[in-house]
Structure 1
Amino acid sequence: MPVLSSPVPLGPGDRRRRRLIRRWLCAGLVAAAGGVTVATLAPPAPQLRAVPVAARDLPTGAVLTSTDVTTAQLQDRTVPDGVLTQVQGAVLASPVRRGEVLTDARTTTGPLLAGQPPGTVAAGVDVGDPALLQTLAPGVRVDVLARTQDPVTGAATGAERIAADVVVLRLPAVTDPVLPGGDARSTTSVLVAVDAATAARLAAAAGRTVLTVRS
């Protein structure tokens, strides 16, 4: 029957090497586990979307061209609603700052009351002087005056302010729709953003209104 040899006793150096090997193995396992954890917890890369932005400060009434617009990469969740898909030829209804995302709310074809306070309505008001139309554009702020007159003689007595610091929403087309009889009648009325009470005052002053432009 073979005789089993007894294990060779380990010296101090061997035991030290084994302890070091165990420590390195433990450290490697911890590092590997940490890497798996970090990879699991790390958020996915954000989804980016190319959007049109103003290449420079642009004024109200500007007709957008390719030189007015550039693109920016934004996180998809931060992109506003109504981003323009057809940029060239769009007309700005209000000033735009360099780098601002271009949306339909900034153009004359966008939602009429976009961005206005709750309860705002659009009211038509005659400018009084047709030449004033050339100085107006969507986004311009105006006061509306109503001419007053003597109730007995009808003579003009002055004017009173019935709306202050209201914004022009939209200018008239060149002509109104063709009326019965084949005539096309020009108009000098614009749409302004006001509250319901002011809209009632504007309606009562129809035919007597004059607009003044604020600086």
Structure 2
Amino acid sequence: MPVPLLPPAPPVAPSTAPPAGPRDRRRRRLTRRWLSAGLVAAAGGVSVATLAPADPPTASVLVAARDLPTGAVLTTTDVREAARPADTLPDGVLDTVTGTVLAGPVRRGEVLTDARTTSGPLLAGQPPGTVATSVEVGDPALLDSLAPGVRVDVLARLEDPVTGAPTGAERIAVDVVVVRVPTSTTGSPGLLGSPGPSSASSVLVAVDSPTAARLAAAAGRTVLTVRSS
């Protein structure tokens, strides 16, 4: 039986597109490279997002709203709330500040703690071996200029051993810090209800042991001078 003949294939139309030149091939290579780089970057971003640790827990604390000086009596306008990493917070963070007196200067944004106030530990932040000792001010009028954190020099009046006449003064403590001042410096009311003389005559200063011994030996003869900040 004869095999039927297949019809001839239709002729293929010649391509009308021009052959790719060097510039077209270069453009295609660059396109493939950019696509590959984009896929790699996307995959890397997903990996980083997956492997990155979660943000640490935070806590809301009170910080200084602006630079505050020594002796400032705090109000709610002096502080603001801020979020801080909970594991970096110091001990003694304050949760209320109204009426609190600063024992030293505070910078804007600093977390407020009990060590920064007059109600905190007496010698907080002082070097090891520091002691607190009482020293007479000499001039009660100077008490209004004193506050915890103020730095002072202490002079001792010199007297003639025979006549008791003053002969000068020597500096027995230099650049020491006041750590506590009297909470009230007014004595009993005077005549007609006027304020009486000051009942306070001394403050506590932080010094080393040898300086404390010199201050004790000069009791009754000391005068404080305030140093410029």
Work out the CA distance in 2 between the residues paired with 1:88 and 1:173.
17
Cα deviation code 1:22-42 (max 9, x no counterpart): xxxxxxxxx8xx96x974x54
User: How many pairs does the alignment contain?
Assistant: 173
Work out the CA distance in 1 between the residues paired with 2:147 and 2:75.
19
Runs of 4 or more above 2 Å deviation: 41-45, 173-176
Work out the CA distance in 2 between the residues paired with 1:191 and 1:202.
11
Q: Which amino acid in the other structure matches residue 160 of structure 2? A: D
Work out the CA distance in 2 between the residues paired with 1:175 and 1:142.
19
Name 1:119's counterpart in structure 2. Answer: 129
Work out the CA distance in 1 between the residues paired with 2:145 and 2:74.
20
In structure 2, relative to structure 1, the CA distance for the partners of 1:52 and 1:212 (3 Å cut) is: same
Match of 1:107 among 117, 136, 142: 117
Name 2:206's counterpart in structure 1. Answer: 193
User: TM-score under structure 2 normalisation?
Assistant: 0.71
Gaps of 5+ in 2: 1-42, 187-197
User: TM-score under structure 1 normalisation?
Assistant: 0.75
Q: Tell me how far 1:186 sits from its aligned partner.
A: 2.0
Q: Tell me how far 1:174 sits from its aligned partner.
A: 2.4
Cα root mean square deviation, aligned? 2.0
Cα deviation code 1:154-179 (max 9, x no counterpart): 22111100000001101023279xxx
Gaps of 5+ in 1: 1-30, 177-184
Higher CA-based Rg: 2
Q: Does 1:45 align with 2:55?
A: yes
Mapping 1:66-215, distance limit 5 Å:
66-174=76-184, 186-215=199-228
Cα deviation code 1:174-205 (max 9, x no counterpart): 279xxxxxxxx922110001001100110111
Name 2:22's counterpart in structure 1. Answer: none
Name 2:5's counterpart in structure 1. Answer: none
Work out the CA distance in 2 between the residues paired with 1:187 and 1:63.
21
In structure 2, relative to structure 1, the CA distance for the partners of 1:153 and 1:111 (3 Å cut) is: same
Cα deviation code 1:132-154 (max 9, x no counterpart): 00111111110000001112222
Work out the CA distance in 2 between the residues paired with 1:175 and 1:144.
20
| Identity between Structure 1 and Structure 2 (%) | 73
Work out the CA distance in 2 between the residues paired with 1:175 and 1:157.
30
Work out the CA distance in 2 between the residues paired with 1:50 and 1:213.
38
